[in-house]
């Protein structure tokens, strides 16, 4: 089993009511989850500044001081991609929709059934894991691309655009043989076993393709 598979599934509980935090902590623990409780929006954002374990966030929308909406805005500003479930009072659907527009992935109304809450948390954790994996892929891809020379990067852009070696050679003023050498070198540096894998790595890193040239009239 990998380290990721063995890692605890963390749920950050952000609520100003101690009884609610205790109740949720017990429920989450009974489901094999690891609750980390925060008594206010300020406390949660302070912990986020120091470094939070990746996990789902159960966020009470109505809190004194820094409320749930302010927490969502702060997370977005800091680029923290934690899946957030907003907990709202019955009848706060308009506010819940606004929270989702601000970055929450789901909302659940009080009073909620334990099964419904655990199902929402499980879905959010799965969604968050996918986001985390994509972020890791992008970082790894960018690291590999950084090893390429400028000319190898130009050749790769041509490949991403679907060009053949001869067309890339013509665009760059090189011989087809030189393009073949650059292509072999960039494939080795990217550790790509196929052209499709090289293209996938380039796209994951956000490498832009060269502009398509208009056909001659």
Task: Assess whether pLDDT exceeds 90 at residue 108.
Answer: no
Q: What is the largest CA-CA distance in the chain?
A: 74
Q: Is residue 105 a part of any domain in this protein?
A: yes
Last residue within a domain, chosen from 81, 105, 137: 137
**Rounded Cα–Cα distance for residues 57 and 153 (Å):** 40
H/E element, 53:
none
Q: Identify the pLDDT of residue 21.
A: 95
Do 80 and 183 lie in one domain? The reply is no
DSSP 65: S
Task: Flag whether pLDDT at 2 surpasses 50.
Answer: no
186 Cβ contact list (under 8 Å, min separation 6): 148, 152, 153, 155, 156, 198
DSSP 120-137: HHHHHHHHHHHHHHHHHH
Instruction: Go through the chain and tell me how many residues it has.
Output: 217
In a domain, residue 191? The reply is yes
The pLDDT tens digits of the residues spanning 157-178 come to: 998 888 889 999 999 999 999 9
Could you report the per-residue pLDDT of 141-162, keeping only the tens digit for each? Answer: 888 999 999 999 999 999 888 8
Per residue in 38-93, pLDDT tens?
999 999 999 988 888 888 999 999 899 999 999 999 998 888 888 899 988 766 77
- What pLDDT score does 3 carry? 42
Residues near 81 by Cβ (< 8 Å), separated by ≥ 6?
128, 131, 132, 135
Q: Does 210 fall in a domain? A: no
**213 located within any domain:** no
Range of the domain at 183: 147-204
- Tell me, yes or no, if the pTM score tops 0.85: no
Distances, alpha carbon 71 to alpha carbons 61, 85, 140, 199, in Å = 9, 12, 30, 38
Closest CA to 210 of 170, 142, 160, 173: 160
Flag the least confident range among 12-26, 83-97, 123-137, 140-154.
Answer: 123-137
Task: Write down the pLDDT at residue 7.
Answer: 53
Give yes or no: residues 127 and 156 share one domain: no
Name the residue among 144, 120, 159, 94 with its Cα closest to residue 31: 120
Residues 195 and 120 in one domain: no
Are residue 160 and residue 114 in the same domain, yes or no? no
User: Mean pLDDT across the stretch 2-10?
Assistant: 57
Q: Are residues 91 and 117 in the same domain?
A: yes
Nearest to 15 by CA among 5, 28, 3, 2: 28
Domain count, the chain: 2
Contact call for residues 75 and 102 (beta carbons, < 8 A): no
Find the CATH number of the domain harbouring 164.
1.10.10.10
């Amino acid at each position: 089993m990998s380290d990721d598979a063995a890692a605890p599934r963390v749920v950050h509980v952000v609520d100003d009511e101690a009884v609610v935090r205790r109740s949720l902590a017990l429920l989450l623990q009974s489901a094999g989850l690891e609750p980390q409780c925060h008594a206010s929006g300020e406390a949660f954002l302070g912990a986020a500044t120091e470094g939070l374990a990746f996990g789902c966030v159960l966020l009470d929308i109505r809190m004194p001081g820094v409320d749930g909406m302010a927490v969502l805005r702060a997370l977005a500003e800091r680029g923290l991609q934690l899946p957030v479930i907003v907990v709202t009072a019955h009848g706060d659907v308009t506010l819940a929709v606004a929270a989702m527009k601000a970055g929450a992935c789901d909302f659940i109304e009080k009073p909620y059934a334990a099964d419904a809450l655990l199902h929402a948390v499980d879905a959010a954790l799965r969604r968050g894991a996918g986001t985390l994996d994509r972020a890791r892929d992008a970082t790894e891809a960018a690291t590999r691309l950084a090893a390429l020379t400028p000319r190898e990067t130009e050749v790769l852009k041509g490949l991403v655009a679907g060009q053949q070696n001869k067309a890339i050679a013509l665009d760059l003023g090189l011989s087809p043989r030189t393009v073949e050498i650059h292509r072999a070198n960039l494939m080795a540096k990217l550790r790509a076993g196929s052209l499709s894998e090289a293209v996938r790595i380039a796209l994951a890193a956000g490498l832009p393709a060269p502009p398509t040239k208009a056909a001659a009239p």
